Chain A
Amino acid sequence: MSTRRKRSIFEIINEYFENLEEWTERLREASIEKPSWNHRACTMEPLRDIMVTPTEVIVTVDLPFAEENTIMVKPVGRDTIEILAKMKRKIRLNDFGITHYKGEFHTLHCRTRIPVPVYTDKMEVHFKKGILEIHLSRKHENEV
């Protein structure tokens, strides 16, 4: 006959956090289920990535067709930055063989939340091989 082992409080807490992590992951995935383009705003959403180091946060954004002198990076509130760039030429969904949706795009646009406190007023920005790199200095605990 099998006996049921009583679970320790640590196991229960551990399971709780595992479930919470899974739920957060699902929520994160669900939240990005949207088109990568907006036909009303005529914008396409670029791919981006965030890396947090002990001293800074590095945001990279893939900006194909971006006109370098039109790239804008601006803070939105305390924890978000907005990136805009005009494209060298207008792109239509038709150019990709898509005829059942209409859309003509001239701007790359995205907003990115920064996961840790940073100085959004002091940014270092580089653009190389179509990749935008934004360096934001982290705030120390006593500065938050």
Chain B
Amino acid sequence: MTAEVEVIEKKEIPSGAAMLFGFPDVGLVGVIAASHLVSELNLTEVAYMDSRLLPPLIVLHEGLPHSPIRIFGNHDILLAVSETAISADTIRPIMHALIDWGRNKRVRKMVSMSGIPVQDRQDIKKLKVFAAASNSEVLKTVQDKGVEVLKEGYMVGPQAIMMQYCVKKDIPAITLLAQCFFNYPDPEAAAELLKELTNITKIKVDVSNLLEKGEEIRLRARDIMRRTRQEMSKMKKTQEYDIPLYVS
């Protein structure tokens, strides 16, 4: 684990869990999905991150301080979630530290939850969820479940680092990307992503409450979306719209 980032455990960590990631990105899909998982599955905080790379802030809940990056869990799931936008230049060490920690806990697979921006999002009736995987075997398991594969394109942000590092460390990893707004919080996209998560894992979650509270979430999430936009601009997130030159 990189010394500049430390994961501090609060509870006993289960071995062989699935590790999920929900970080601020387009449409805040990952964060909204993670937040819903925490409340629906009654996940509790099992660890948190401390690092000089993080901004000098804490999050207060019920008057008590918490790290902006925490890991929630139960016997079968570990869920890393960030309540603050992460600056482009610190994403790499933060993701590496979380993955190294998960590897030490013998997680069976890693799944990052995020979005893929789509133009004219408000005109789309049924949002698609795409997947990418760390190797062809994992990709096949996802395809066998009927999830559409993101065949060609660029991926920018925490999920890109996660995928790259999991390949290097030979950890089975999947990235789920729901079509979403680029700049606006998208609870509907988060709900579609969670349905696909249920499809490819044993994690069962009801999304009706998430859809019901959609407008409230969009209102609440304006500030974190605004700060995430600033970081996305620095990491050139719009490159995801680019057409790659195929190099075999």
CB-defined contacts of A44 to chain B, threshold 8 Å? 219, 222
A-side binding surface: helix, strand, loop or mixed?
mixed
Q: Does the CB pair B225–A47 fall under 8 Å?
A: yes
Give bound CA distance, A46 to B218, whole Å.
10
CB distance from A3 to the nearest CB of B (A): 33
Q: How large is the interface on B (under 10, 10 to 19, 20 to 34, 35 or more residues)?
A: 10 to 19
Q: Does the CB pair B183–A96 fall under 8 Å?
A: no
Q: Does the CB pair A64–B122 fall under 8 Å?
A: no
Q: A36-B226, A47-B225 are in contact. Are A64 and B219 (CB under 8 A)?
A: yes
Q: Does A81 contact B (CB under 8 A)?
A: no
* Of B184, B218, B219, B226, the contact of A32 (CB 8 Å cutoff): B226
Q: Does B212 contact A (CB under 8 A)?
A: no
CB-defined contacts of A91 to chain B, threshold 8 Å? 219
Give bound CA distance, A111 to B225, whole Å.
18
B-side binding surface: helix, strand, loop or mixed?
helix
CB-defined contacts of B223 to chain A, threshold 8 Å? 36
CB distance from B120 to the nearest CB of A (A): 9
Q: Does the CB pair A64–B216 fall under 8 Å?
A: yes
* Of B122, B216, B225, B230, the contact of A129 (CB 8 Å cutoff): B122
CB-defined contacts of B122 to chain A, threshold 8 Å? 128-131, 133
Pull 27 A–B residue pairs with CB atoms less than 8 Å apart, ordered by A: A32-B226, A36-B223, A44-B219, A46-B222, A47-B183, A47-B185, A47-B226, A49-B183, A60-B184, A62-B181, A62-B184, A64-B214, A64-B215, A64-B216, A64-B218, A65-B215, A65-B219, A95-B216, A96-B220, A129-B122, A130-B122, A130-B215, A130-B218, A131-B121, A131-B181, A131-B184, A133-B122
Residues of B whose CB lies within 8 Å of any CB of A are 121-123, 181-185, 214-216, 218-220, 222-223, 225-226, 230
